Every structure is written in structure tokens, then in C-alpha cells.
Amino acid sequence: MLDAILAAYGFEPNTQAIPHGTGLINRTWKIHAPQKGNFILQRINEAVFRHPEQIAENIDKVSDYLAIHYPDAIFPRPARTLTGQTLLVPTPNQYFRLYPFIEGSTTIDVASNPTQAYEAARTFGAFTRMLAQFPADTLHSTLPGFHNLSRRYKDFKIALEKGNPQRLLHAESLISYLKKQSNIVTQYESILTNPNFHRRVTHHDTKISNILFDAQEKGICVIDLDTMMPGYLISDVGDMLRTYLSPVSEEEKEYRHIDVRDAYFQAILEGYLEETKEQLTREEKEAFVYSGAFMMYMQALRFLTDYLQDDIYYGRQYEEHNFVRASNQSTLLALYQQKMPRYLSMLEALI
């Protein structure tokens, strides 16, 4: 099937496409074309992204803006097919796009020293800073309600009513733990009505593998812009905390390996504020610590909701996969909450 796709971009027959990366939603391949170099090909998951053309429009708008205001900024832009398209639709409901591979760049799956976390946070911070004056609400919401915690909590409640009865039983204690944390939703709702929280161009998926690093492990640029849309800083800061603080990922089944590492918190704080401190309001900065709990909680709810609904969104590689992911994120949340007072002092010292 890929042959026709590759041909549309003018690649020679028999060009190799090797599965690439660890994303849960889209499918990704690395293309090695002897004459043309290396590329990243992606098939967008159309069951998740109902309007892939809106993603393409968002990326075009932001990259036009950056080209004018920050001509030196590196921003990955999709390559064109032989007929000039940046989004290839070979048959209805199939969407592909191709990115030139940035030579010399690497990605990191789990932060293994604080400097990597600092660099990733600085690079995401630079993205926020460069787009601080961009009118965020002119972008499409490519996934409406994506990080709306009130909606995620409602979906969770629906799954408690209508979910798989056996799984509901199995998840009883996790469900009761997560219900007890619903003050995190209340805090989110107060952010929504606070005029000092700006709607900003938000990446919404700030895991470390969405940063390209150079050979010296300096951040080059952000990638994976499918969920770049209007949002709040708590999403970007929170997903960094969720994914860099622990030495193991959300896939880890041995929960005792989950940890919350203070040096990584300090690194994310310094890296992000280094770029953004002039742009952010006092209230936005003060929400830095809350952001981590916000994203850990939302991810735990999303995994558990999916488990109760028989894995329709995230899929699974083994029977209890989404239950394990939800337990993992809940463990992380509980450890993080113990450290929040200390992290608030670390924050206060910097703002």
C-alpha cells in the first residue's frame, strides 16, 4: 500500500519505509531514499483526528508567522507531493504527510539526566514565547475538548455507569482513589474563568520524544504538531512534568520503579521560565506546580475510562494494558502530590 504513497512524493519504487517511533495514535515510518535523503512519513489516525486538513492549516499559519517574526527558528513543515499537496489523501479517509528528516537530529524516549529535561523545557518554552503574540483563537481546535478536564471527568463518570461490569469490579479501588481527587477538576474550572490565564498556542503533547535534539543534546525544535491548538499553559507544563519526572514511562508495570525526581523538576522549571518568564502572568506561573497534577490526573482518567470501555481509544497489547497505564499514572500522581509543597517553594524562589 505504501508504494503508491511513496510514488506520489516522487520516490523510486522499492524505497524502504521502516516503522518508527512509539506514538499511540498515528503510524510513522522512516524513509531512506538514496538520492533524496531521509524522511518521516505519517499516516494520521482519522478515527481520532476527524479533520486532518485543519491540522495542515494550523501548521501553515504558524509556520508563516514564524517565518516573518522569527526567521531563524526551525519549524518542521510538511513536504509536498509531486502535485503540490502537503496532505496526501489517496482514498477518502486516508491521510498521509511527509516531513524531511532533520539530519543529525535524535530523539530521546525517557529523560536520563536533568540537562535533557532542561533542554526540552527550554525548547517548548521558546515555542510558547515565539507564539505569545500570535492570535491563538485563529487556530482550529483539531481535537475539540482534548484537555478539557471537566469533560474527561464526565466521560469517566459515564464509563462508571456503562462500562464493562467485570472491569468495573476489577478497577474498584483505583476508581475510588480517582474519584477522591476530583478537587483537581474544581481547580481547573477556576482557571477557565480566570482572566489572567491566557489562551495560548499550546502544543498539548510535550513529552520529551517530541523534541529533536542535536548531537550535543541541545534542543533543536518541537515536533508532532497535530494537537497544536488554542489551550492553556497547564497542558504543556503539565505534560512535561508528567513525562520527565519519573525514570520510567506510563508503560511501566512495576510501579515501585515510578519516582518523582526533584532535580528534574528544578530543570523543567528553569528551562521553561528561562524562555517564558517575561510573557507569563503571575497566575500562570503560580499554576506551574498544579499543572503536573492536572495532567497526571487527566491521563489516569483517560486510561481508566478506556479500560472500562474495552480499550476502544488507546488499544492494547495485553489484556490489562490500560488498567496498568491508569494505575501507573495514579501512582505517579500520589507521589507527586506528596512533593507539591516542596515544589511550590522551589517555584516561589524563581518567580
Least separation, in Å, of the C-beta of 26 and Mg ion? 7
Angle between helices 183-192 and 288-308 (to 10 degrees): 120
Q: Which residue from 119, 155, 205, 311 is in contact with ligand GN1, where contact means CB under 6 A?
A: 205
Of 4-12, 20-28, 54-62, 120-128, the segment contacting ligand GN1 by CB under 6 A is 20-28
Question: Under the criterion CB under 5 A, does residue 236 sit at the interface with Mg ion?
Answer: no
Give whichever of 236 and 284 is closer to Mg ion, judged by the CB atom. 236
Binding mask 217-246 for ligand GN1 (x = CB under 6 A): ----------x-------------------
Least separation, in Å, of the C-beta of 252 and ligand GN1? 12
Q: Which residue from 116, 219, 223, 224 is in contact with Mg ion, where contact means CB under 5 A?
A: 224
Burial 209-227 (b: 16+ CB within 10 A, else e): bbbbbeeeeebbbbbbbbb
Residue 299 near which of Mg ion, ligand GN1, none (CB within 5-8 Å, type-dependent): ligand GN1
Of 8-16, 223-231, 244-252, 253-261, the segment contacting Mg ion by CB under 5 A is 223-231
Question: Under the criterion CB under 6 A, does residue 110 sit at the interface with ligand GN1?
Answer: no
Cβ(87)–Cβ(75) under 8 Å? no
Backbone phi and psi for residue 44, each to the nearest 5 degrees, phi listed first: -75, 135
Burial 132-169 (b: 16+ CB within 10 A, else e): eebebeebbebbeebbbbeebbebbeebbeebeeebbe
Hey, which residues between 282 and 311 contact ligand GN1 (CB under 6 A)?
299
Question: Under the criterion CB under 6 A, does residue 25 sit at the interface with ligand GN1?
Answer: yes
Positions in the binding site for Mg ion (CB under 5 A): 205, 224
Positions in the binding site for ligand GN1 (CB under 6 A): 23-25, 48, 205, 227, 250, 299
